[in-house]
């Protein structure tokens, strides 16, 4: 079997590589990617954590066979002879003479096709309302849960789609309807009216530090309102900072990455300047061990909780729910229906037939609070 080159002209990071990923999965063939660039406002265009330990284009999160994402055509010489290789049109001229089959994507609304040069359809997928391409249709069921997801809808739909899809996986698994409500943390109202009418909140990760202060405000408010809350990566860091700020004298605590001049830093650079990126073991403890079993987690962070502030983090009802080699990987509140934050990205491990237990537990908790 020869290599197959898939020219993917998607203008959005969330769609780049989807067709090649699903097709390679179905054929159990290794996937390689030529790293694309995107014009437009896509701050999290390359935020999927791959098994090899670095970040790749976000649309590749659906791949179960991804080997590498490389920057140069010459680096493809290491690709297996039966590889599927996805690239955007800017690289097509450089690969046109390479031996193998050449296919092309066609995007039209929620329909995605893989075509030959003669426009013959090789494969076709349809996206559902969660942005999932291979999920079976599920009938609407039960009470509607209103879930707030911090961030612009365009960021979640066009740049980093995994959280929305993971919520869809969990909603199908436990048989509930979910109505999503998006709000940008950088432009929240003074009285946080965005939280009115919500049944639960997710504070996501992301590369934009402009979201931090807003996410800290949301963490404080969801604690006070007993609103079920799940924090992911930057969201967990915002939740931990909110707990530290409850202590007298620490009201100005902030992330060093977001506020280098803050008088107190809740999250600081690793002393060895590492980039902790990859798929690593995760062992929940305490309250979180009742929510999910030990399970590998995707990580992508250069900053960790400041060990000098452990006492402030755990003052009151704060708890450390997972820790590896002194790195705090999860936090919880003991007096709250559901208030858990994890340093990793559980959304990247969710699939329609295998939803991540943390997302299922979050929606279950929301449903219980409404009963």
Structure tokens at 203: 């504070």
Per-position pLDDT tens, the chain of length 371: 799 999 999 989 999 999 999 999 999 999 999 999 998 888 889 999 998 899 999 999 999 999 999 999 999 999 999 999 999 999 999 998 899 999 999 999 999 999 999 999 999 999 999 999 977 766 666 789 999 999 999 999 999 999 999 999 999 999 999 999 999 999 999 999 999 999 999 999 988 888 999 999 999 999 999 999 999 999 999 999 999 999 999 999 999 999 999 999 999 999 999 999 999 999 999 999 999 999 999 999 999 999 999 999 999 899 999 999 999 999 999 999 999 999 999 999 999 999 999 999 999 999 999 98
Q: Decide if 85 contacts 2 (C-beta within 8 A).
A: no
The domain locations on the chain are 4-126, 144-370
SS (H, E, C) the chain: CCCEEEECCCCCCCCCCHHHHHHHHHHCCCEEEECCCCCCCCCCCCCEECCCCCEECHHHHHCCCEEEEECCHHHHHHCCCCCEEEECHHHHHHHCCCCCEEEEEEEECCEEEEECCCCCEEEEEECCCCCCCCCCCCCCCCCEEEEEEEECHHHHHHHCCHHHHHHHHHHHHHCCEEEEEEECHHHCCCCCHHHCCCCEEEECCCCCHHHHHHHHHHHHHHHHCCCCEEEECHHHHHHHHHHHHCCCCCCCCEECCCCCCCCCEEEEECCCCCCEEEEECCCCCHHHHHCCCCCCEEEEECEEECHHHHHHHCCCCEEEEEEECCEEEEEEECCCCCEEEECCCHHHHCECCECCHHHHHHHHHHHHHHC
Number of residues that make up the chain: 371
369 CB neighbour count, 10 Å cutoff: 15
Residue 371's pLDDT is 81
Structure tokens at 123: 């494969």
235 CB-side CA count, 13 A = 24
Q: Decide if 38 contacts 81 (C-beta within 8 A).
A: no
d(CA 38, CA 140): 36
Angle, in degrees to the nearest 10, between helices 234-245 and 212-224: 60
Please state which CATH number belongs to domain 144-370. Answer: 3.40.50.880
Query: Comparing C-alpha atoms, which of 326, 334, 364, 58 is closest to residue 205?
Result: 58
Residue 140's pLDDT is 60
d(CA 184, CA 187): 6
- Rg of the chain over CA atoms, in angstroms? 21
Residue 249's pLDDT is 96
- Residue 293 — φ and ψ, nearest 5°? -85, 170
For residue 123, the Cα-to-chain-centroid distance in whole angstroms is 27
């Amino acid at each position: 079997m020869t290599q197959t080159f898939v020219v993917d002209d998607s203008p959005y990071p969330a769609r780049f590589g989807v067709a090649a990923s699903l097709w390679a999965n179905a054929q159990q063939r290794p996937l390689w990617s030529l790293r694309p660039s995107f014009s437009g406002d896509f701050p999290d265009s390359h935020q999927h954590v791959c098994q090899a330990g670095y970040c790749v284009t976000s649309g590749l999160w659906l791949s179960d066979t991804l080997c590498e994402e490389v920057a140069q055509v010459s680096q493809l010489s290491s690709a297996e002879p039966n590889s599927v290789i996805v690239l955007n049109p800017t690289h097509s001229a450089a690969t046109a003479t390479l031996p193998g089959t050449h296919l092309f994507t066609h995007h039209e609304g929620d329909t995605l096709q893989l075509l030959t040069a003669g426009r013959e359809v090789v494969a076709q997928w349809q996206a559902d309302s969660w942005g999932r391409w291979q999920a079976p249709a599920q009938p609407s069921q039960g009470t509607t849960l209103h879930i707030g997801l911090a961030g612009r809808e365009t960021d979640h739909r066009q740049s980093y789609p995994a959280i929305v899809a993971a919520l869809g996986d969990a909603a199908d698994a436990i048989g509930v309807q979910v109505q999503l409500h998006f709000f940008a943390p950088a432009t929240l109202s003074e009285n946080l009216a965005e939280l009115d009418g919500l049944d639960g909140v997710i504070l996501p990760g992301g590369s934009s530090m402009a979201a931090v202060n807003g996410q800290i405000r949301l963490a404080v408010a969801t604690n006070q309102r007993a609103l079920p809350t799940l924090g992911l990566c930057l969201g967990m860091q915002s939740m931990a900072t909110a707990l530290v700020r409850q202590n007298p004298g620490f009201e100005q605590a902030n992330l060093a990455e977001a506020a280098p001049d803050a008088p107190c830093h809740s999250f600081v650079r690793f002393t060895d300047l590492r980039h902790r990126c990859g798929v690593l073991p995760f062992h929940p403890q305490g309250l979180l061990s009742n929510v999910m079993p030990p399970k590998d987690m995707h990580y992508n962070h250069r900053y960790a909780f400041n060990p000098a502030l452990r006492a402030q983090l755990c003052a009151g009802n704060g708890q450390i729910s997972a820790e590896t080699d002194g790195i705090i990987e999860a936090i919880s509140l003991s007096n709250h229906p559901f208030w858990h934050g994890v340093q990793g990205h559980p959304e990247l491990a969710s699939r329609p037939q295998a939803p991540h237990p943390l997302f299922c537990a979050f929606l279950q908790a929301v449903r219980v609070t409404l009963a």
